[in-house]
C-alpha cells in the first residue's frame, strides 16, 4: 500500500539534490559487455580478499 506523501514525489525533481546519471553512465549500465567485464573484475577482487584471509 502506497502512502499519500510518497504519491506526489517525482524522481529527479528540483527538490532533490541527488546526482543523476549522465548519458555515458547510462550507456555503461546498459552495456552487456561492460557488465561482464565489471563482473570479472569484481570476482578477481573477491578472490584476492579470500586468499588473504586463508
Say yes or no to pLDDT of 39 above 80: yes
Mean pLDDT to the nearest integer, 27-47: 96
What's the pLDDT band for 53 if we cut at 50, 70, 90?
Answer: confident
User: For the whole model, what pTM was predicted?
Assistant: 0.57
Check whether 20 has a pLDDT greater than 90: no
Cα separation, 17 vs 15, in Å, equals: 7
C-alpha separations of 1 from 8, 11, 31, 51 in Å: 14, 19, 34, 46
pLDDT of residue 44: 97
C-alpha cell at 25: 553512465
Amino acid at each position: 500500500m502506497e502512502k499519500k506523501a510518497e504519491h506526489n514525489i517525482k524522481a529527479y525533481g528540483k527538490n532533490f539534490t541527488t546526482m543523476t546519471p549522465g548519458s555515458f553512465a547510462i550507456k555503461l549500465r546498459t552495456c552487456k559487455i561492460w557488465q561482464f567485464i565489471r563482473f570479472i573484475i569484481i570476482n578477481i577482487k573477491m578472490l584476492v580478499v579470500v586468499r588473504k584471509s586463508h
